[in-house]
Amino acid sequence: ILIHLFNSDITLGKNGVPVAENFRLEQSTIADTLQAGQVRVKTLYLSVDPYMRCRMNEDTGSDYLRPWQLSEVADGGGIGVVEESKHHNLAKGDFVTSFTWPWQTAAILDGDLLQKLVPQLVNGRLSYFLGAAGITGLTALLGIREKGHVAAGANQTMVVSGAAGACGSLAGQIGRLEGCSRVVGIAGTDEKCSILVQEMGFDAAINYKKGDVAKQLRELCPGGVDVYFDNVGGDISDAVISQMNQNSHIILCGQISQYNKDVPYPPPLPPDIEKIQKERNITRERFLVLNYMEKQEASVLQLCQWIQEGKLKVR
């Protein structure tokens, strides 16, 4: 017996906030015997990510994202342990991961679609392979390297929105490791802001729910903003872009504030902000980490090295 997490037949639509009633739990059974190449796994970790909101629409807005189907098991990044194997390269006790892991407690999966994990690379913290040493960490590292134009010694200031999130908290630290001289985060509570500064090495953090964000940015980034790691979009991003320097760079990672709205991706900027972007020659190009998978192995090893050395703090 196992538990499935299914989409319900309640239609959410492109405009709307997901609620518990959009899903349902079900119990089912899985086959007793494996076919050649299959493995039986026990689920250990599932990653719940902002992009999944787009998968609740019939049209995800992306050619690389498949919509979840009504009354089928939801899926996403996951990690499990092999309990039985008929795959030549996987044995009982191996830890494995996939981007399309079903949301169920146990499953029979095609072994060819699984990647074997080495727990020692993350000091035994398996869940890191869904975060700091997984697609989240890759997004932060490759986003900065491919779109940030960070150069050691260039006295650059980086601002990160959604800075206490899985990706943002890494991006700020990686920005520092790659050479930024000043890193400022934007988050939603005083506790998050405190963690960013005291634990993760940010120079300062702004609680966007308190006070004037633009005013605080002027005070904390007196030399303007050279690199903006954008996770949220909307009003916060407009405030940051207004203070960006000539020939600066936006790393367009996500637009979380817009995911419950029927708008294209990336959402268009307001006319006055778009004017600033063009006049100051600010780059704002769509960034998709899946386009850089040839750099995955080396980048994961770099992330794991920083974790082992204590240079990359993970929550």
Q: In sequence order, what are the residues at sequence separation of 6 or more whose Cβ sits closer than 8 angstroms to the Cβ of residue 28?
A: 1, 2, 4, 104
Q: Look at the domain 2-117 and name its fold.
A: Quinone Oxidoreductase; Chain A, domain 1 (3.90.180)
Helices 234-241/271-279 angle, 10° precision: 30
**How confident is the model over 160-186, as a mean pLDDT?**
96
> How far is 83 from 66, CA to CA, in rounded Å?
29
Write down the pLDDT at residue 259. 56
Per-residue model confidence as pLDDT tens digits over 103-138: 999 999 999 999 999 999 999 999 999 999 998 999
Per-residue model confidence as pLDDT tens digits over 24-73: 899 999 998 999 999 999 999 999 987 788 788 887 667 777 888 888 89
Write down the pLDDT at residue 184. 98
**How confident is the model over 10-19, as a mean pLDDT?**
67
Write down the pLDDT at residue 304. 96
**Residue range(s) of every CATH 3.90.180.10 domain in the chain:** 2-117
CATH of 135-309, one of 3.40.50.720, 3.40.50.1950, 3.40.630.30, 3.20.10.10: 3.40.50.720
Place of tokens 């899926």: 75
Per-residue pLDDT at 298 exceeds 70: yes
Nearest alpha-carbon partner for 243 in 260, 266, 230, 226 = 226
**Residue range(s) of every CATH 3.40.50.720 domain in the chain:** 135-309
Q: pTM to 2 decimals? A: 0.84
